[in-house]
Amino acid sequence: MHIIATGRSQSGCVSPHNPFRARLHHSTRNAIVGRETHGDPARVNKKRRQQVILELVAAQPVASQEELRQLLEDRGFAVTQSTLSRDLRELRLARIPTTEGARYASPDSMTDDHRTALEDVLPQFFESSDGVGELLVLKTIAGGAQPIAEAIDAQAFPDVLGTIGGENTILIICRSTAARDRLEKRLERLARSGV
């Protein structure tokens, strides 16, 4: 890195002795802020990395972010967990429980036996529900919360403001206590219908 210490005195003359002012050489500054004359390599790298993520998930079962991170590293992409989480969110990839265990998949690429329709996933993964006020909590088997939360969001229930899905717990925020009661009864009915 080429750092040239410069500064201006009160008279406007350049002073090489002012350590509080630094001017970077033009090519170094562009490299630091990611500007290149032939496109942005960070953006190109992100696009290529996300393409590789989709290829990896489509080609083999990937059960965890750490496993995916290792596969990316094997392909020459060193990524942090936060970058990988952001990529998965942008690509709309979710961990879906399957007969072989949980794996990452795109809702768009899933076959009929891995659909995330509420009627399909709720009976498979639902364990219990409980609520207070406008909040409804669903308990699921391990790995079941994300597909159920996505299926609830896809239904666009008017009583639901939003969902937050973890590994085995979903928080559903409803518009009112009455809305929570209606939704809880409906979800429990759907969960029992698959049994």
Question: For the segment 110-155, what is each residue's pLDDT rounded down to a tens digit?
Answer: 544 444 468 878 888 899 999 999 999 999 988 888 889 988 988 8
Q: Could you tell me where the DSSP H helices lie in 60-171?
A: 65-74, 81-90, 118-125, 145-155
CA dihedral 36, 37, 43, 49 (to 10 degrees): -90
> Which has more pLDDT, 159 or 97?
159
Q: What is the mean pLDDT of residues 162-180?
A: 95
Q: Other C-beta atoms within 10 Å of 68: how many?
A: 20
Please give the pLDDT value at position 102: 72
**Integer Cα distance of 186 and 110 in angstroms:** 26
Tokens representing 126? 């639902």
**Hey, CA dihedral for 34, 71, 75, 57, is it positive or negative?**
negative
Say which residues have a Cβ less than 8 Å from residue 173's Cβ, sequence separation at least 6. Answer: 134, 135, 160, 161, 162, 163, 164
DSSP letter (8 states) at residue 106: -
The pLDDT tens digits of the residues spanning 53-112 come to: 999 988 888 888 899 999 999 999 999 988 988 888 888 787 776 666 677 876 555 544
The pLDDT, as a whole number, for residue 92 is 79
Report pLDDT digits (tens) over 10-58. Answer: 544 444 454 444 444 444 444 433 333 345 566 678 999 999 999 998 8
> Alpha-carbon torsion 169, 171, 177, 182, what sign?
negative
Report the pLDDT value the prediction gives residue 170, as an integer from 0 to 100. 96
At 50 the pLDDT is 92
Cα 24-25-29 angle, rounded to 5 deg: 65
Which pLDDT score, from 0 to 100, does residue 96 have?
73
Contact 72, 84 (CB under 8 A): yes
Instruction: Give the model's pLDDT for residue 42.
Output: 63
What's the predicted TM-score (pTM) here? Answer: 0.46
User: What DSSP designation does 75 have?
Assistant: T
Domains within the chain, CATH numbers bracketed? 3-32 (no CATH), 41-109 (1.10.10.10), 115-193 (3.30.1360.40)
Return the number of other C-beta atoms located less than 10 Å from residue 63's C-beta.
15
Please give the pLDDT value at position 37. 36
Structure tokens of 123?
A: 């009976």
Looking at beta carbons, which pairs linking 110-116 to residues 24 or more positions away fall under 8 Å? 116/147, 116/150, 116/151, 116/154
pLDDT of residue 15: 46
Tell me the C-alpha to C-alpha distance, in Å, between residue 132 and each of 77, 153, 169, 172.
45, 20, 15, 11
